Amino acid sequence: MRLSHFVLLSGSISASLPGVLGWGAAGHEIVATIAQIHLHPSVYPALCDILNYTSPDPRAPPCRLAPIAAWADRLRYKMRWSSPLHYVGAVDDYPSQTCEFPGSGGWAGERRRNVLGAVRNVTDILEDYADGGGSVGYATANEAAKFLVHFMGDLHMPLHLTGRDRGGNDDKVRFGGRITNLHALWDGLLIAKAIRETPSNYSVPLASPQIEWVLRGAIYDSYVRRIMWEGVLDQWKDEIPSWVACPAPARAYGGGGLWQTVMRVFGRDVAGETDDEVLCPYHWAAPIHALNCEIVWPKALDEPPYKNTSRIGEYAPRGGPYLELDTPEYAGVIKERLIVEKLLAQAGIRLAAVLNWLFAETDGLNVVEI
């Protein structure tokens, strides 16, 4: 059964809602909260058992994903082996000029030792645990669940999908006059700006018991309401089934065309390393990676006066000038198109679909509406 059978679609409540109304820790917690809105009720016993957590508030969900969403980052420097699992970089990738996923040079690092392989691996571990065969113990399942919540967020942060300049960490820019770097801008500053600018009417509870039940005691609740109301329940409502769809293997990996070329160049099936007809992190990540050339990586960073023209690839010396990105042409377009909000929603809904597929009681389960 495919993941599209395990999404809690929200279309049925739209008519009842009021008409007026690798991310940082905030981004990961928002992804986890959106995922929890879409969890099937039968998932909670298994999930709470794995997380060894019960909410002290009897009115709230019995366990929450948001508090463990940034766990993998908090312990990243104690678990140095896990560091490459948060991102993926193609050797030939150089946005905004070229976006290769991957190019002829393949992936940087070891095979499957990246965020795509990490999503695949921890999902496989949880599937073994859910099957009850005894090969996976509680401690391993606990870590796998926390990694899955985190890695699904990282998969949807465009700069976690490019290896150029350490995903933009080496590229200084300005945002609202503040000197930062491109990665930090996407990791948190764009979300912080969106939270500040969320209209005050989203502090009013929505007419959805499912949404408000999950938001009880949650942070960023107004922003999550906005993502749900303007995006999930409106602009993207008809797209959601495609968000969790995976191509059939014969169609995705064989039969010539692009995939035949990929296999000929690399001598292997790149997507086939992680993807199948149920879970497909490569298929989901490819259009997110393309955003790096479309909008994430400003072309001006590769042009004077922001590029140091004395050596190709070097940027302006210490002291600037630095490109300002809190502008209508950059931050304004991102806000207007709800780009960040859509990425957070996709991550949350895909995470929910995976958890529902792993742990939901499936008798008669198809699509459950909230």
Give the tokens for residue 204: 């009013």
- Tokens encoding 128: 């073994």
Please report, in angstroms and rounded to a whole number, the separation of the first and last CA atoms in the chain. 21
Catalytic residue among 93, 120, 154, 350: 154
Single out the catalytic residue among 38, 120, 150, 164.
150
Strand partners, 282: none
Cα dihedral 345, 346, 347, 349 in deg (nearest 10): 80
Catalytic site residue from 64, 73, 156, 243: 73
Q: Which of 38, 40, 64, 86 is catalytic?
A: 86
CB-neighbour burial class of residue 219 (10 A; exposed 0-12, middle 13-18, buried 19+): middle
Closest of 271, 276, 291, 307 to residue 346, by C-alpha: 291
> Which of the following is catalytic: 93, 165, 171, 187?
187
Whether cis (ω within 30° of 0) applies to the bond prior to 305 is yes
Q: Which of 28, 164, 226, 350 is catalytic?
A: 28
* Catalytic status, residue 86: yes
40, 156, 183, 289: the catalytic one is: 183
Task: Using alpha carbons, list the distances in angstroms from residue 169 to 185, 226, 273, 315.
Answer: 10, 29, 28, 13
Q: Is 5 among the catalytic positions?
A: no
Q: For residue 22, what are the CA distances in angstroms to 92, 153, 238, 330? A: 21, 7, 27, 20
Catalytic residue check, 150:
yes
At residue 94's C-alpha, the angle toward residues 91 and 96, to 5°, is 160
**Is 283 annotated as catalytic?**
no
23 tagged catalytic: yes
Query: Known catalytic residue: 76?
Result: no
Q: Of the residues 156, 160, 164, 289, which is catalytic?
A: 160
Rg (CA), the chain: 21
Burial of 40 (0-12, 13-18, 19+ CB in 10 A): buried
Rounded distance between C-alpha atoms, residue 272 and residue 252, angstroms: 9
Only one residue has tokens 């609202």, namely 176
Question: 């990490």: which residue's tokens?
Answer: 118
Kindly list the catalytic residues.
Answer: 23, 28, 73-74, 86, 150, 154, 160, 183, 187
